Structure 1
Amino acid sequence: MPLNSIRELHLHGNPWTCDCHARYLRRWLDKVNPSRAEPPTCAAPSRLRRRAFEAVPLSQFACPPQIREGARTVTAWSGDNVTLSCSVSASPEARVRWTWHGRPVVNGSVSQPPGTRYRVFEHGREEKTSLLTLHAVSESTAGRYVCDRP
């Protein structure tokens, strides 16, 4: 039997975790709209406990971002170009930011003193990779660059 031919569905009474893994079910219920005696309710996460599926906005069916950094240490000579990478898994899509000495690294900006140019390239959505390229590095731009979410 095709799923779209279901007329009645009983999902209540189950300990539903209303996170990114249940998002597909929430979308399907909105689309097909089978009759339900009682709506399914969330058991977790705690902020959504006892709330009916349809009372929870789709954006709340989310999972915390998982950040995986690339190489921990990169060594370069003055004048070299260096690319740092970081991958983020998140649903919904997460924003990524790079910081250096606690300050945001802005795409297209130039370091002070002038010299190193920063470029950020991102691809993907829920599985996103962010690449930070430092053009013409120098001693003044050495340090710890951090990939995180704002």
Structure 2
Amino acid sequence: SRNRLEGLPRYVFNHMKNLKTLMLEENPWRCDCRLREFRSWYVGSTHRKSLSCTAPFGLKDAPWETVPEEDFGCMPQLEIYRDDATDIEDLGANITYRCVGYGDPEPEVVWDLNGKIVDQDNMMTENERVVKFD
């Protein structure tokens, strides 16, 4: 305990067959997707003390067993690209934007144009949408 651990992989103790005591309390646990599998293993184990989240803010001081597994997630990261071959000053020219979203759970990418959700049926490939605006 008190060794500044923020997360651990689930398998970290698999090879320690003779492990009798595991003291993990009073660590600054960051309850996100990197801790999810270890949390599930730990909550399901016997002879354990309750551990609490330090971060993110919304889970601060929450005991692991009271937080649903799916809430141990990571914030999505979005990258938006514009096709550099298109000069934005060419009135009437097509412009292609690509949005790649990463996260755990995987984020749903929704396009919003002037407060209106762009029709999700205008799909070319899994992560590419083509929409024509007049």
Q: What's the TM-score once normalised by structure 2's chain length?
A: 0.69
Partner residue, 1:100? 113
> How many Å separate the matches in 2 of 1:49 and 1:79?
50
Partner residue, 1:133? 130
The size of the alignment, in residue pairs, is 118
Is the contact between residue 43 and residue 64 of structure 2 (CA under 8 Å) also seen in structure 1? no
Q: Which runs of 5+ in 1 are unaligned?
A: 109-117, 123-129, 143-150
Q: Which runs of 5+ in 2 are unaligned?
A: 1-12
Instruction: Map residues 1-150 of structure 1 onto 2, 5 A cutoff.
Output: 2-3=14-15, 5=17, 6=19, 8-30=21-43, 33-36=45-48, 38-71=49-82, 74=86, 83-108=96-121, 118-119=122-123, 121-122=125-126, 130-134=127-131, 137=132, 141=133
> How many Å separate the matches in 2 of 1:62 and 1:22?
9
Kindly, what percent of the aligned residue pairs are identical?
27
> How many Å separate the matches in 1 of 2:20 and 2:96?
54
RMSD of equivalent CA atoms: 3.0
> How many Å separate the matches in 2 of 1:49 and 1:107?
36
- Higher relative contact order at CA 8 Å, sep ≥6: structure 1 or structure 2? 1
The 3 A distance-change label for structure 1 pair 24 and 120 is farther
Q: What's the TM-score once normalised by structure 1's chain length?
A: 0.62
> How many Å separate the matches in 2 of 1:54 and 1:97?
33
